[in-house]
Amino acid sequence: MKSLEAYEAMAATLDRCADAGTEWPEPALLPDGLPTVAPFDPELLPEALRGWVADIAHRMQCPPDFPAVGAVVAISSLIGARAVVKPKARDDWAVVPNLWGLIVGRPGVMKSPALAQVLNPLHRMEATEREKWKAAHDEWVLDCRVAELAAKQNEKKAGNVAAKEPAQARALLQPMDVPPEPTARRYVVNDATVEKLGDLLTVNPWGLLVYRDELHGLLCSMDRHGQEGARGFYLTGYDGNQGHAVDRIGRGESYVPRVCLAMLGGIQPGKVQSYVREAVAGGAGDDGLLQRFGLAVWPDVTPEFVYVDRWPDTPAKHAAAAVFERLNQLQPASDTDPQEWRFSPEAQALFVEWLEPFETEIRGEELHPALVSHLSKYRKLIPALALIFALVDTPDSGNVIHERELLRALDWADYLRTHAERMYAAAVIPETTGAKRLLDKIKAGKLCDGDGVLLEAFTPRLAAVKHWTGLNTPDAVRKAADLLADYGWLAREAVPAGASGGRPSDRYLIHPTLLKRGT
């Protein structure tokens, strides 16, 4: 039960604020919570992929950004470390084109179905490889049984001649030659421990795609104490050309000569905002892992839905499938060395023209450090995209990337930067989503007591029991209410502890104009 003193303090404050013209200031508009982003332009994609991506987006009524990013990341995983680009004309700096993509969207906006569509070519290839592996493995099992039977026969023969012909017996006891156990080429890994992922990369040394329908779980799992090794493994996998050694009691020593991982998945806006804030605040995620998702998109979703029921665009689908099939056959320069690609003279000049002002900007003081960390990964992203587009459009160019492919990569940089700015806005500008939601509830007359009477004041706990989306905890309500108080929609009041003790609390008085709207 509330103390009489608390109620009297509340009544006194209400009396002071009753005169809206003198005591209450005119409330100010809340700031926009998210910056605008550039829409996806089909020209960003190679021509062979445009129709396929547009068809998926139209049939699913989802932003084209979703399938476009998924397609580019899927293709980057096929190339893996088989080909690299050396962005400087006389330098040995090499970029592996494995890319990380992050799709941000609310539940129900077709993130997962869109990504499933663009990953279908990889799943078909993996199914084919599994069939080949099964046939080869069955043959290998028979070879092992034959070798076992032959060894038993030789053992009997060796026993018969051992006394008279020890040299012959020794020769008969030599191990039989058995072919190595066949392994299947893998393309996509969904849920694997780091140890198992290392084993898979040992037999798939040119790279794999890690796909998670919901990436937040993976990111958070690596934030836990004791998972530092897992984070280090994934950070190494972004580079695509570094080895990784692990020494564990019980597992002994293991070494993966090349850790090359492409990554793709979706995440909900609230979860990515929470993760960004924690990472920027110096939490466990403040090591650049999130910033490696260079292909991070958070597009606007149109509120209008158009019912579409038509067959897929078969010619466009076949054109895209042909690209996947061709890149699936891409061969490195040797068993250990990748192909090397470089820019044409015109493309090289364009790269320098972009790089110099870019490096100057991120060395300045104008940008938020989190955004700087993200943009700094464009040193890899831009050459990698240019190489991918060259392998799709001009695979027979003599390992030369032309100006057109680099221009397309730079257009991607302009487009992706707007989405990165939106994602990091959670750390750069105040969080207004909860404040706007709370304000809308108050305006709609939803903040009332059990008898339906509008409340003139409320505590965070009282509002939290309403279980409104994003406002279902006292802390979430308090943050939203504090922002509304800063902009004049509420007045914050400290409520002293009652006679029976306890901690002081906060109460928020509602602007009289809002109370009039709710009546």
Tens of pLDDT, residues 288-314: 888 999 999 999 998 889 999 999 999
Rounded to whole angstroms, the Cα distance separating 261 from 240 reads 6
At 92-111, the pLDDT tens digits run: 999 999 999 999 999 889 99
Residue 156 has pLDDT above 60, yes or no: yes
Angle between helices 111-161 and 65-79 (to 10 degrees): 20
pLDDT value, residue 476: 86
Q: 110 — phi, psi (to 5°)?
A: 70, 30
The one-letter amino acid code at 512 reads P
Residue 21 has pLDDT above 70, yes or no: no
Average pLDDT, the chain: 87
Could you tell me if 514 and 441 are in contact, meaning their C-beta atoms sit under 8 angstroms apart? no
Q: How confident is the model at residue 19 (pLDDT cuts 50, 70, 90)?
A: very low
Q: How confident is the model at residue 226 (pLDDT cuts 50, 70, 90)?
A: low
At 413-450, the pLDDT tens digits run: 999 999 999 998 866 665 677 888 899 999 988 898 87
Q: Residue range 468-474: average pLDDT?
A: 85
pLDDT value, residue 68: 98
The one-letter amino acid code at 100 reads W
The one-letter amino acid code at 379 reads R
pLDDT value, residue 6: 40
Q: Within 10 A of 365 (CB to CB), how many other CB atoms are there?
A: 6
Residue 248 has pLDDT above 80, yes or no: no
Residue 2 has pLDDT above 60, yes or no: no
Q: How confident is the model at residue 1 (pLDDT cuts 50, 70, 90)?
A: very low
Q: Which residue has the higher pLDDT, 506 or 379?
A: 379
Is the pTM of the predicted complex or chain greater than 0.85? Answer: no
At 120-137, the pLDDT tens digits run: 999 999 999 999 999 999
Angle between helices 369-376 and 345-362 (to 10 degrees): 160
Q: Residue range 1-9: average pLDDT?
A: 41
